[in-house]
Amino acid sequence: MDTVGGTVAPLRLTRRGRRVLLGLLIALAALVVVLVAKPGQAADPSSPPTAVVQPGDTLWSIAGRYAPGRDRVATVEDIRRLNHLEGYGLQVGQRLTLPRL
């Protein structure tokens, strides 16, 4: 430890040292921002897919659009079950919860 006249000399940073220290502080701040930031809605895997009924839509057509490679009868029944539908009728503007594929 350097002393000047019995007192401790102040710490001096070189230009390179100041740059390194500034870089570390910026990296630390960026890490805090990344850890604290809330994920977007699209990233939320807990929200189920939905569809809004358009004019002319039926459960059959919605099932075909949503899951074209899946058995439509099973998809229609899953949609009915998820939405507590007693029949097969839909209302324009109705929001339907769709099954996860």
Three-state DSSP class for 97? strand
Q: Is 43 part of any domain?
A: no
**22-41 pLDDT tens trace:** 999 999 999 988 888 866 65
> Model confidence at 7, in pLDDT bands (50, 70, 90)?
confident
Which CATH number fits the domain that encloses residue 91?
3.10.350.10
Cβ atoms 92, 54 nearer than 8 A: yes
The pLDDT assigned to 12 comes to 86
Q: Please give the residue range of the domain that contains residue 67.
A: 48-97
**Domain shared by 26 and 63, yes or no:** no
Query: Per-residue confidence at 80, pLDDT binned at 50, 70, 90?
Result: very high
Tell me: do 53 and 86 sit in the same domain: yes
Q: Mean of the per-residue pLDDT values for the chain?
A: 88
Is residue 71 within 8 A of residue 79, CB to CB? The reply is: no
The reply to whether 32 and 53 lie within a common domain is no
Average confidence (pLDDT) over 52-74: 95
Burial letters 28-56, b for 16+ CB under 10 A, else e: eeeeeeeeeeeeeeeeeeeeeeebebeee
Looking at the structure, do residues 92 and 53 belong to the same domain, yes or no? Answer: yes
One domain, residues 27 and 63 = no
